[in-house]
Amino acid sequence: MLSILGEDAPSYATVKRWVAEFKRGRSSTDDEPRPGPPVVSSTPEIVQRILDIVMDDRRVTQRQIANRMHKVSARWVPKLLTADQKRQRESLSRENFKPFEGDPDNFLKRFVTMDETWVHHFEPESKQQSKQWKHVTSPIPKKA
């Protein structure tokens, strides 16, 4: 296999696992079906980048493309704020903190009421679901 497939040959451990599977009675080389839809994160930009790589060298292998592209999770940031918005939030937080310093026991009574309860429910996608492909030279994606 190594002389024919070269670096694309499966590892010895993989071949050993396949032999064991066939000895146990498996007759198909196809993957077993997996639950849920396949995880796909393709965007027009990624498709265009890969197309450019392939058009530059039509003999490029999947491993060579994988060396140029990496799948990463977007960096979670609460919100992408400008410097002015950050300054404004800081000053408002300091103003709200002054009454707490003056009377910490009665501070919450000013803000917490028992009339109604509002709960915002939001389920963000998991880290695995939010992964996306990025080129080695492109910056790490951010997600607000």
Task: Give per-residue pLDDT as tens, 5-44.
Answer: 888 888 888 889 889 988 998 888 777 777 776 666 677 8
Q: Element (H or E) spanning 85, and its range?
A: helix 83-102
Q: Of all residues in the chain, what percent carry a pLDDT higher than 70?
A: 79
User: Which of the two residues, 47 and 117, has the higher pLDDT score?
Assistant: 47
Q: Over the stretch 65-122, which tens digit does the pLDDT of each residue have?
A: 878 777 776 666 666 778 898 899 889 888 878 887 888 777 777 665 555 556 666 6
Nearest CA to 75 out of 31, 130, 120 is that of 130
Distance CA 83, CA 95 (A): 19
Residue 13: domain span: 2-29+39-112+127-143
Confidence check: pLDDT of 46 > 60:
yes
Question: Is 119 contained in some domain?
Answer: no
Question: Is 58 contained in some domain?
Answer: yes
Question: Is 102 contained in some domain?
Answer: yes
Per the structure, the count of domains in the chain is 1
Give the pLDDT of residue 76: 65
Question: Is 117 contained in some domain?
Answer: no
Q: Please tell me the pTM assigned to this model.
A: 0.29
Question: Is 10 contained in some domain?
Answer: yes
Give the pLDDT of residue 23: 92
